[in-house]
Amino acid sequence: MSGTQGWTAAIVTPILSPMSSNTLIRRVLKPVVWGLSLAPALWLAWLAWQAVTVNPDALGANPVEYLNRYLGDWALRFLLVALAITPLRILTGWTQFTRFRRLIGLFAFFYVVLHLASYIGIDQFFDWLAIWKDIVKRTYITVGMAAFVLLTALAATSTKGMIKRLGGKRWNWLHKTVYAAGILGCIHFFMMRKGLQLEPIIYGGILLSLFAVRLLGKLRRG
Amino acid sequence: MLIRIPKASDVKPSEITPKSLFDERRKFLKTAAVAGAGLAIGSIGGSAEAGTVKLPDLTKTKWNAETVGKELTSYRSVTSYNNFYEFGTGKTDPITYAKDFEPKPWAIKVDGLCENPGTYSYEDLVNPHKLEERVYRFRCVEAWSMVVPWVGIPLSDIIKRLAPTGDARYVAFETLNDPDRMPGQKRRVLKWPYREGLRMDEAMNPLTLFTVGLYGEELPNQNGAPIRLVVPWKYGFKSIKSIVRISFTAQQPPTSWNMSAPREYGFYSNVNPEVNHPRWSQAKERNIGEFLKKPTLMLNGYDEEVASMYAGMDMKKNY
């Protein structure tokens, strides 16, 4: 592992050298990550605008389902990317990856909120009784809601002020629950599909391999 | 990703050639092409692409656009939003991956407890009958619905010709199992071939349709060409597609979704707003093309025609 880290650093450092790594991150990489993270939402907004103006088929035959699935897919993808930050750091040795963790985690929460909002406001059209029944009776929705509650707590405590207020140790412990949110998200996805389908298995597989890299990193460090 | 900004000069939907006229032109071109090919290679025939062939002389029935109580779902939605896992699990997979499927020539094997078993061609089965148009409500187990003008023959008329014996209490159906022609079967989403079944009285019910078309045309591949079932008071998955086998049995036959998840999908699978799927409510449905969900009707609104078959049966237990 240390060999890998050696050559990665050897390649990355000269690239970074004209600018300080700090400036590069703030001026270039962060805006790029912002842009990439907003792209799925902007694309969806574009499709929705198309659907109501010129092309009723832009969101397919069942736009409500399309909207909800699309947002759910991206919520889970961003959650997995957030969970991939530490494994990436372990694999490459580039410690600066960590500086994108909060941003990407918050974007995961952003898509989770939109996914839930589309379920409440569009799919169920604010039928609160039906929503409540879903949450208590339908296991995959219970699981999804549990992930949402966890991620809300993490988003709410994501500021520097909250780290200070909670104390590093407690804050760290709380933010470990992001693993649970990842697992719940994958189960939620697996459960809503009929039959033995491929995509939920792929997402689950990615999550497991991310855990494996972390575990491996821990073992190496002893 | 391709972002397309419509220009003022673009064709508006209203300016597109009416479907009937478009079809006439296509048919003319196709006939010309086939004739040309025939001259070139010395053989005439070459079945036309499914889904574009008009079915003539349809008998209007009491199940028509006026009596169905809802607007027809657009042809585009009916043929582009499909559950047909033999061609993939996404809703638009069937229209994409069934494009090159050749539904003809087609044969159905008939076996089991009947007097006329054997292998019947599509023409053997369909040609002796007059085709009817039946506009039915169609309710998927996933809580969406459509209204579709199907074309077919009452299944009872077909079954009478096959002459089941007195011991035959069920009819079992099987879909084609050929991963080369149905690429979705390369993955084991379900145990192939897809299987479905009906009790004999359900199969003989006047509503049950041996279906060969929709919107006045032969069935498009993605809708189960060339022969499927339509059982309008049951969830959509009971209406098995691309049938290659019909068996008459004494025992209740195994059915695919019941084998996959017995707690979620029963043999009967009658549309019932009071019996929920374990993972979601069946009380409401979203009709494709509408925004708000509407209450689901008992037996999909066909209770007058079919409820007597289930008199005294516990619909919650026999879901």
Write out pLDDT tens, residues B261-284.
Answer: 999 999 999 999 999 999 899 999
**B4 inside domain:** no
Cβ of residue A129 closer than 8 Å to a chain B Cβ: no
Q: What band does A15 get if pLDDT is binned at 50, 70 and 90?
A: low
Can you give the pLDDT at residue A20? 77
Dihedral of alpha carbons B201, B204, B207, B208, sign = positive
- Nearest-CB residue to B81 (from A62, A139, A196): A62
A11 pLDDT more than 90? no
Cβ of residue B292 closer than 8 Å to a chain A Cβ: yes
Instruction: Write out chain B residues lying below 8 Å of A196, CB-based.
Output: 188-190, 260
Dihedral of alpha carbons B159, B160, B164, B166, sign = positive
Backbone conformation region of residue A143, classed left if phi is above 0, alpha if psi is from -120 to 50, else beta: alpha
Dihedral of alpha carbons A50, B149, B142, A127, sign = positive
Cβ of residue B6 closer than 8 Å to a chain A Cβ: yes
Nearest to A144 by CA among A120, A128, A127: A120
Q: For chain B, what is the largest distance between any 2 Cα atoms, rounded to a whole number of angstroms?
A: 68
A90 pLDDT more than 60? yes
- Nearest-CB residue to B85 (from A60, A124, A195): A195
- Domain span at residue B283? 18-39+48-310
| Number of compact structural domains in chain A | 1
**B114 inside domain:** yes
Least confidently predicted of A17-31, A65-79, A118-132, A137-151 = A17-31
Cβ of residue A45 closer than 8 Å to a chain B Cβ: no
Can you give the pLDDT at residue A24? 87
Per-residue burial over B267-292, b if 16 or more Cβ lie within 10 Å, else e, is bbbbbbbebebebbbbbbbbbbbeee
Angle at B106 between CA B100 and CA B108, to 5 degrees: 135
The amino acid present at B137, given as its one-letter code, is R
Can you give the pLDDT at residue B6? 52
**B7 inside domain:** no
Q: How much is the ipTM here?
A: 0.83
**B108 inside domain:** yes
Nearest CA in chain B to A61: B77
Instruction: Strand B195-199: give its sheet, edge to edge.
Output: B118-121, B107-112, B243-249, B170-175, B195-199
- Nearest-CB residue to B189 (from A140, A191, A195): A195
The amino acid present at B210, given as its one-letter code, is F
Q: Are A67 and A122 in contact (CB under 8 A)?
A: yes
Q: What band does A38 get if pLDDT is binned at 50, 70 and 90?
A: very high
- State whether B89 and A62 contact (CB < 8 Å): no
Instruction: Write out chain B residues lying below 8 Å of A46, CB-based.
Output: 3
Q: What is the mean pLDDT of residues A92-109?
A: 94
Query: E strand or H helix at B243, and its extent?
Result: strand B243-249
Q: Are B156 and B208 in contact (CB under 8 A)?
A: yes
Residues in chain B, overall count: 319
User: Which value, to the nearest 10 degrees, does the dihedral of the CA atoms of residues B293, B299, B304, B309 take?
Assistant: 180
Q: How far is B91 from chain A (nearest CA, A)?
A: 9
Q: What is the mean pLDDT of residues A211-219?
A: 92
* Average pLDDT across chain B, whole number: 88
Instruction: Write out chain B residues lying below 8 Å of A60, CB-based.
Output: 80-81, 91-92
Instruction: Write out chain A residues lying below 8 Å of B87, CB-based.
Output: none
**B300 inside domain:** yes
Cβ of residue A57 closer than 8 Å to a chain B Cβ: yes
Backbone angles phi, psi at B34, to 5 degrees: -65, -45
Q: What is the pTM of this model?
A: 0.83
* Three-class SS state of A194: coil
Using one digit for the tens of pLDDT, what is the confidence trace for B137-179?
999 999 999 999 999 999 999 999 999 999 999 999 999 999 9
Cβ of residue A54 closer than 8 Å to a chain B Cβ: yes
Q: How many CB atoms lie within 10 A of CB A222?
A: 4
Helix, strand, coil shares, percent, chain A, to 5: 85, 0, 15
B39 pLDDT more than 60? no
Which single residue is written with the structure tokens 């087609």? B106
Which distant-in-sequence residues (6+ apart) come within 8 Å of A122 by Cβ?
A64, A67, A68
Can you give the pLDDT at residue A25? 87
**B278 inside domain:** yes
Distance CA A204, CA B102 (A): 37
B300 pLDDT more than 80? yes
At B28, which CATH number? 3.90.420.10
Distance CA B192, CA A104 (A): 42
Nearest to A167 by CA among A179, A177, A157: A157
- State whether B80 and A61 contact (CB < 8 Å): yes
| Number of compact structural domains in chain B | 1
Which single residue is written with the structure tokens 């009916």? B78
DSSP character at residue B272? -
Residue B210: strand pairing partners: B153, B229
Backbone conformation region of residue B252, classed left if phi is above 0, alpha if psi is from -120 to 50, else beta: beta
Using one digit for the tens of pLDDT, what is the confidence trace for B215-234?
999 999 999 999 999 999 99
- Domain span at residue A187? 2-221
Can you give the pLDDT at residue A201? 95
A1 pLDDT more than 60? no
Distance CA B251, CA B266 (A): 15
Distance CA B53, CA B314 (A): 44
Cβ of residue B302 closer than 8 Å to a chain A Cβ: no
